[in-house]
Structure 1
Amino acid sequence: MIKKSMDILDVYSWTNNFGKQIIGCFIENIYFTGFYWLIKIRCSGKGKSYLKIEPSIRLHISNIEPLEKKIDKFSSFMRKHIRGARIIDVKQLGWERIIELHVKSRKNEYILINEILPRGFLVLTNEKYSILYANRFQELRDRIIKRGNKYTPPPGRIDLLKLDDTKLLELLREGKDLVRGIVKGWGLPGYIAEELIYRAGLYEKKNYKIDMVEETDLYTLIHMLEKIINEALNGKGYLVKLDNKPHIYTSYEPKLYKELYDVSVEKYDKLNHVLDIYYSEYEKRIYYEQRTIKQRILIEKIKKNIDKQQKIIKKYIEESEKYKEFSRTLVTNYNLLEKILECVNKTRKTSGWDKIVENCPNIVKYYKDKGTVIVKFNEYEIPIDIRLNAWNNILRYKKLSGELLKKAKKAEEALRELERSLEEAVNKKQLIQRRTEIGIKPRLWYERFHWMITSEGFLVIAGRDIDQNELIVKKYMEPHDIFLHADIHGAPATVIKTHNRMPSQKSIKEAAVIAACYSKAWKEGFGAIDVFWVYANQVSKTPPSGEYLPKGAFMIYGKKNYVKTKLELAIGIEENCDPIYGLYQKIIVGPEELVANKSIVYAVIVPGDIGIGEVAGKLIRSFHKKLEDHAIGITKNELMYRLPGRSRIIGIKRGKTPLITGC
């Protein structure tokens, strides 16, 4: 991934296409993920999505859930001022990589400014650009980013859109050669410069000095600039892949990469979609680096300890062998050793220590304070304790050799333990990597509801509350769909999306499990309940004359078809290998047979008295145990979101879907 941030063409394209699409949307909440801010927005007729805002890097709409959401001081401040506000405008500041979100709350207007520049800021100001908060406060040479100060952008680049050909040509001459002329004079990155030169048919002259290039060719280059800017305005996106991994993305067709390099180029109708794909890979890398810092430090520490331990073992073994040779040499020269000791003790008493080397054979040194002499036998110089007899000197070295050998063996045991620790640490690091990779996943429109895909491929959605019940019936239910409802007050409006196909009784019975298990019957501890189903055209929001229908209530006309449904829900983990998002895991729910066929592991639950937090925790632990070393990218919160209420686990089983080991 060589592209670190959105370039000027990306910003121009995104602002003019996708920025306009979020005008009128409402800000529901703001979070911080550790390296970027996440704004949850709700758009009329489009549902909810996220704005991912990272100073210096990007701003785009996303359907991909981050691995973690938290609140920092800035997100807390934004919640206080702009949560609930409506986005009234999105604009690019001049020809800069700066995007302004203008929002209006009940009382005030605010501007959230994201600088997609090196060391860029994220700044919240009032409508007069007075700074209220920023991702950091700093006094710079050319501006001050502090509370109360007026926001001023960094010294700007020239607006290429407002320049005529003569001025563009003049700027081009600022560079030493063609590439640097575009980079320096027009302020475009090197890969766009090369694309322009390639399109102008001047690729072989890219390193030529400007005055060596024909003026007509330079005007062709200017024409290509205009063309590529207009191309970016179309809003399409291109993803360049090297070895099947995202390498770079563009808002124009990258003909240079397509025709000269051994890469694949994927075209998408929307640049925003490309941004989401590219930065999901970037997020995985950042999360992985953040989550493995401690593990990497631990691995390095263990490696150093292993190296240290190996040196200790080597030293113990070498010294043990040395003392073993000493004892063998002394045994071989036993008679001579006795004579040497006799001579040393006699000389010490009659003539003193100073005469020992002179009078006694094989002695090269002595240490009066230690009571030892150094005796040379062949290549060895062996310290001999004069207080011991010959045999005890030999035994001393045998004992020392044995003690060091024992120490070496203990050190080897410690080494093996360190090596085991290293293997565990490396495996854990790899597991974190895998969990990170599979933890980032796309969030689809229907996932805000209770949902399920039947064994025949029909989507089932059910409301989580009265508002969602109303929304499903009014907006998402179409004439050929099927409506289900548990025969109890306090149940979700459940709809099978048929797309003009008629589901079989099997799919209807599977959908009935959702209607039953997410109803009040679960909280009441029922064992089973009747669920009725009707066609969508039998459901109406129009009450009989003179009557009133409260919010979330509906009139059903005609025959009801009943399905006796057991309150038993399977909840499992499904793995997906997606050509765009890669490998990721999702929680699926439904009847046991359905979930077993689609999952890698699952549990069966019934109404009980254990809180959803405790149940979710038990499920996570049980799933880990069941899958052994296979990574799980599902969080406790995700499980809690899918549980119907207080429950009891009656079984944990492996699903019938094989584990995905490569994607």
Structure 2
Amino acid sequence: MDQKRELSSIDLAALVTELNRYEGAKVDKAYLYDDDLLRLKLRDFDRGRVELMIEVGDVKRAHAADPDHVADAPGRPPNFAKMLRNRMSGADFAGVEQYEFDRILTFEFEREDQNTTLVAELFGQGNVAALDETGEVVGSLSTVRLKSRTVAPGSQYEYPGSRLDPLDVSRGGFERHMRESDSDVVRTLATQLNLGGLYAEEVCTRAGVEKETPIEEATDDQLRALHDALSRIGERLRSGDIDPRVYEESIDGDGNADDDADPRVVDVTPFPLAEHEDLPSVGFDSFNAAVDEYFYRLGSEDAEAGDAPADASASRPDFEGEIAKQQRIIEQQEGAIEGFEEQAQAERERAELLYANYDLVDEVLSTVREARESEVPWDEIEETLDAGAERGIPAAEAVVDVDGGEGTVTVELADESGDDADDEGGANGGTTRIELDASEGVEVNADRLYQEAKRVEEKKEGAMAAIESTREELEAVKERKAEWEEQQAANDGSGQGDDGDDGADDEEEYETDWLSRASIPIRSPDNWYDRFRWFHTSTGYLVIGGRNADQNEELVKKYMSKHDRFFHTQAHGGPVTILKASGPSESADPVDFSEETLREAAQFAVSYSSDWKDGRGAGDAYMVDPDQVSKTPESGEYIEKGSFVIRGDRTYFEDVPCRIAVGVQCEPVTRAIGGPPSAIVDRAAAHVTFEPGMYAQNDAAMMAYRDLKERFTDQSFVRKVASADRLQEFLPPGGSDIVD
């Protein structure tokens, strides 16, 4: 018989109860093998490491796997895996449900900042979709656009049409559905009652009803027996009364039964089936364990037959790139340590300089303090000191600034060492400027400088600890590189690798955890399109838009090429949006842009249009070729600056969501980015998504900045590359609200 390659609805009903026992386990990381096998690594307080496997390719399954059955981590994670890591790392597994009686499982994960729903579609072409709290698709393995439903980033997730649950149907409903069929009993159970072939036959066998009995010939007693058999199966699943089995058969190379041949797995069920009574079987304590064993053996048998899946092979991690990054960080940290040393030494020298000029500084401070005690205004004190300097009084000559608002005076003292001092007050030849608190004496001001030197030295100690940590990371990368190369050499010799946990951890760590980094090196880009609105699609194409009428004109006249696409909104007041087929100085060939790319460009056009400013949640956009765009109006008409005439047919995109994400990109360059969420989430180390709302543009930008800054250990990095002003450049004009 054919080997089972997909779990049935009854199988999933049995699995859900067991998978919910892992509620509370924390997500560690997500991996994606060969675009159809998702692995979620979790840690459970009671059970330790938990591996949740969801496969939606030729094999369709969802279960917790024995760690020994899990392949080594793959190479660089694709965008979908990176998105899941950003959203779900540290999240709690909150439970799983089967959608109606369909082959769909809905996994819930909760985290303090955001919740995520994973929908695993284990039917048809198979798919996994990640949803936010509102049910909007954040990302999916496959984009689905059918008349009946849509599964695409930025859209609300739509389940397939409802199916009858045969395990919960009343006797009257069961008989009505059966009687409406014009087929035989087993086919009606399989299709109209959604049982599938195997369990339809099982129900017939348990009820003692001939499978091929035409419906019109079936008696009421036979239908009652069928319903009773079906109800008993449902009760057994609901009560957890299961007795899992993995069924085997022994066949030779020609597919004939052969008791001497090694047995192969053919089916896994939550309880023994009468239909399989002639097959040997192996019992298990849990159905999850049986499913795991079955698919592990199935994969091994496929591999032996020459059909090994590609997910078990790991591409080479970018060890050299990570080593170079760590070395750059060390160089920066060494420079910071040297700077701290110089700053601490300068503060101590300032304090010593105050004591070296004690009488002069004391005269300045006493004069100012006495004047303030006599309620002399600060401007008069400054005038008195200026007059004293003109008369050649040394104490007055030493004062170079008076700040009444801060209550300070700045003195310039001769540096006996003759060295130029580089301090925050400035330097001038062999002198040093020192800002003094006019309400305190020389000792207190000098002590403040000593305390500052001590504080800087503490920062130096922190930097030294950080550099040691970075050096350890560097050595760890080098060790992983050596181990990986050694493992590859062993694999080349034996054809096998270690599927244990250690190997997986070794290979997965090459990806940088930017949020936890103590110091992030800044690599600022300088791009020709920075002054426009812009983003890169999830497929890598540049999209640029005008910020005003002048830029709209410039984009069309200077930067639009013949193979590009021109987008605009139906609503008035939208930017010219161009999807580039190439750079401004590059030759381009015709491009067959994907539907995902076109939808992202349309969402960009809609989100920066008056649709957002007017508070609409969605809008319509259209696309044309460049040769359809003209500045020549019809006779007697006038075109405003920044507007154009469109001639010919248009491709429309309807009900495009108004959504924009802003975030911080850390590799390969460091910068603030913004655009449609599906294009930003996988490029950003952290991001915030907006929809039209109540907060003014500058307030929304500040909210995003504070949110992003709190997620990074190196908050100064966020200040430098993604300040509120820079984030505001990516926000649409009008009110906004954070949606995640």
- Could you say whether these structures have the same fold, taking a TM-score greater than 0.5 normalized by the shorter chain as the test? no
Larger RCO of the pair (alpha carbons < 8 Å, separation 6+): 2
* Alignment TM class, shorter chain as reference: 0.3 to 0.5
Structure whose CA Rg is larger: 1
**TM-score of the pair, normalised by structure 2:** 0.40
**TM-score of the pair, normalised by structure 1:** 0.45
